[in-house]
Structure 1
Amino acid sequence: MAADHDKNDPLKFLKTIYLGDRGVTGISMDSVRKTVKIHIDCISRVRGENWNYYTDEDLENGAIVFIGCKKFFFDTNGILPSDFIEIESVEQTADDEYSIVFDVSSYSFDEKRLVPAKLKIIFQSVHLESCDGKVIDK
């Protein structure tokens, strides 16, 4: 069952997501459906001013799903993101268009340093998805 994205303000919705100390487990794209999924080991929700260690709605092995993707930029400096993920910025760029930038830097044991990496997506709507496919859009 599809989520009703008309009720979901992407700017407000993304402010309810906490990713501190969480890791990317995968990134998948469906070019035909214009969706991008960022799979994350645990997604927490912010239901107050701050996260404050709220875990009642934690989504283990879930995904942030971007719908109506128009552009996808991935600058990884050659690494596969498998570690840190942080929302760096979110903004509305047009009436029905938004931009999000993630920091997906990863530590390289070979290079003994943190390798910077960015992911930017231009999209129309967003929701969360559980590991069993349940859509969470509130």
Structure 2
Amino acid sequence: MKVVPLRLRPRVDLRLALEDWMGQQRQQAGCLINGIGSHSVARLRLAGRQEITTLTGDLEILSLAGTLSPDGAHLHIAIADNSGAVIGGHLCAGSLVRTTAELVVGLLPEWRFSRELDPATGWAELRISPRAPD
């Protein structure tokens, strides 16, 4: 595994930045090892819901985890508001960094991740396969 630290600056869309970054990598499989920081806008899809919940204000990123592939990401986040109330769910596009996002990403050169529609779930789910030798 190759480990890469990243820092995202204010007003960057956290999800889109990670997807763009992964699309530029030679490796075709990645995972979030750690992610902390803050949001001014957080857009989440909560468990079992179709609609997106949008939160605004001073929000702390307590944890960020997920998988990265050249054709998309599956990211879960736990965030707290300024009263300490915590909420978590799927991180959606439009979630903007407030002050910083400090990330540690693992790249997995022996694997290939992709997303394919799974008829059983109705979602684009992770497909894992060994990467072909160069």
Task: Please give the TM-score of this superposition, normalised by the length of structure 1.
Answer: 0.32
Comparing both structures, which one devotes a greater share of its residues to strand? 2
